[in-house]
A and B are shown apart, each in its own frame.
Chain A
Amino acid sequence: MVSLYEAGVLALLIGGIFFALVAVVGLLRLPDIYTRTHAASKTDTLGAGLTLAAAALVFGSGLPTIKTALLLAFLFITNPTAAHAIARAADDQGIEPWTADDGGEDR
């Protein structure tokens, strides 16, 4: 019989894997750098956050849980910042965003 605690950890793990999968699909399928950055930064941050929350639950209480929570907070701050910097670098290099005029072609 699965306890409530185990069910919570399993739900967090499955949610994390689902959002990581969404990030990968977006990264492979979307047409240009800006949309790919969008998909990768948001969904991958959430996927990593849910999975790290599951790891923090498994550690119980004490220093390892605090370290995992720190890691989670750090990822939540740095991942969108890095994606923003990359997208801005692409804009500075003069990469045009994808529009419907491209006719479904990737960029």
Chain B
Amino acid sequence: MTLLTDAMLAAAGAFVLLSIVIVYRIVRGPTMQDRVVAANVVGTNTVVVIALLAAAFDAPGYLDIALVYALLNFLMSIAISKFTVERGGVM
């Protein structure tokens, strides 16, 4: 199982690196929606990283954290896109 543990940790590291690259788009924008999309992708990558760490360390408790993080990530995107538009009703 050690090969798979190493592969999981390497994949988690790759996802963290990709998330760091995305921060460029969050900083630069130029529109608010660009930043929300980029933050949403970072959140999705974070969920994947937490799930990978749960699998690598054989700690199923982490999966609950990943589920809550996915919920909050979705709520963040919906809330920002709904409440920054004047007439509302984005969905």
Chain A residues close to B by CB (< 8 Å):
2, 6, 9-10, 13, 16-17, 20-21, 23-24, 27-28, 33, 36-37, 40-41, 44-45, 47-48, 51-52, 54-55, 58-59, 63-64, 67-68, 70-71, 74-75, 78-79, 81-83, 85-90, 92-93, 95, 107
Contacts and interface: CB of A to CB of B under 8 A. Distances in A.
A48 B55 CA distance: 14
Interface in B47-65: 47-48, 51-52, 54-55, 60, 63-64
The 9 closest A-B CB pairs, nearest first, are: A82-B77, A89-B81, A64-B60, A55-B55, A78-B74, A90-B33, A58-B55, A67-B63, A85-B81
B31 A33 contact: yes
A33 B90 contact: no
| Size class of the B contact interface (CB-based, 8 Å) | 35 or more
Report which residue of B34, B70, B78 has the largest number of chain A beta carbons within 10 angstroms of its beta carbon. B34
Interface of B: 3-4, 7-8, 11, 14-15, 18, 21-22, 24-25, 30-31, 33-34, 36-38, 40-41, 44-45, 47-48, 51-52, 54-55, 60, 63-64, 66-67, 70-71, 73-74, 77-78, 80-82, 84-87, 90-91
